[in-house]
Amino acid sequence: MTEPNGRPKPRASILRVRARGEDFGIVQVQGNLFVCSRANGNCCCGWAEKGRFVFDNSLWADEWERRMIRNRLHLTFTGCLGPCAVGNNALLQLHGRSIWLKDLNGPEFPALVFDYAQAMLDAGHVLPPPEPLRGHVYERYLPPPDDDYAPLAESVPDPDAIARLDPVCMMDVDPATAKWSAEHAGRRYYFCAPSCRRLFLANPEAYT
């Protein structure tokens, strides 16, 4: 399978992670985008009375879903990220770097930020910000030590877990208890909710 840009679609990498006495398959992603959101309890970003661009979370979520990069880059809406004076704020963590984005005050920024993130996903490394975002990226964190990367926990791959993943939201679903399923190209897929099943049936090639 290929992505809209013609590149081969990356196969999901899944870890076996234990919690509450059970094993779960968790998809390893390449990064995470955190968007500071008034709906999630912040104090400035998205507040018209504080001079910020007002947005609904769907402005970012719809752009993320349209690109079908859920298994590569996660999207999180959050309360206060900290540097309130320069909001609207977002934090992109990708390829081991924390990329801070400020003054995202306009409807064009979700697409610009995801264009930048997707370019780095395709390149496999961090890139300089493109011209439209050059004035919106800054270094909030001090440079890290020059130590070599060392994992903080042992990773246990779980290649069999892909058979239990909801292909839309990437949640671990037990086939024995799943209420919703569908068959495509000779394989049965299981879903955590009817909404995921509907999305899959509308365009199964996008999720396989």
d(CA 167, CA 38): 30
The residue range of the domain holding 188 is 160-207
> What would the pLDDT profile of 153-196 be if each residue is shown by its tens digit?
776 777 777 777 888 888 888 888 989 999 998 889 999 899 98
Residue 35 and residue 122 in one domain = yes
d(CA 40, CA 32): 17
How many beta carbons lie within 10 A of that of residue 93, not counting itself? Answer: 17
On whether residue 83 sits in a domain, the answer given is: yes
Residue 55 and residue 96 in one domain = yes
Compute the half-sphere exposure of residue 136: CA atoms within 13 Å on the CB side of its CA: 23
pLDDT score, position 173: 86
Whose CA is closest to 103, among 113, 94, 95, 118?
113
Total domains present in the chain: 2
Residue 57 and residue 120 in one domain = yes
Residue 37 and residue 89 in one domain = yes
Residue 74 and residue 123 in one domain = yes
Q: Which of 58-62, 69-73, 88-92, 155-159 has the lowest mean pLDDT?
A: 155-159
Residue 131 and residue 165 in one domain = no
19 against 143, higher pLDDT: 19
Q: What is the dihedral of CA 170, 175, 180, 184, to 10 degrees?
A: 80
Residue 134 and residue 168 in one domain = no
Do the bridges between strand 31-36 and strand 73-78 make them parallel or antiparallel, or are there none, so unpaired?
A: parallel
Residue 86 and residue 164 in one domain = no
For the sheet containing 90-94, what is the strand order? 73-78, 31-36, 90-94, 97-101, 137-138
Q: What is the mean pLDDT of residues 121-136?
A: 95
Residue 164 and residue 106 in one domain = no
> What would the pLDDT profile of 86-107 be if each residue is shown by its tens digit?
999 999 999 989 999 999 999 9
pTM, full prediction: 0.80
On whether residue 10 sits in a domain, the answer given is: no
Domain boundary pick from 138, 171, 193 = 138
pLDDT score, position 12: 65
Residue 88 and residue 181 in one domain = no
Find the CATH number of the domain harbouring 63: 3.40.30.10
Residue 99 and residue 177 in one domain = no
Given the structure tokens 């493109």, which residue do they identify? 130
Cis peptide before 40 (omega within 30 of 0): no
Specify the amino acid at residue 109.
Answer: F
d(CA 129, CA 99): 10
Alpha-carbon separation of residue 72 from 3, 5, 140, 170, 180 (angstroms)? 12, 15, 24, 11, 25
User: What does the radius of gyration of the chain's CA atoms come to, in whole angstroms?
Assistant: 19
Q: What is the dihedral of CA 130, 109, 101, 89, to 10 degrees?
A: 180
Q: What does DSSP assign to residue 109?
A: H
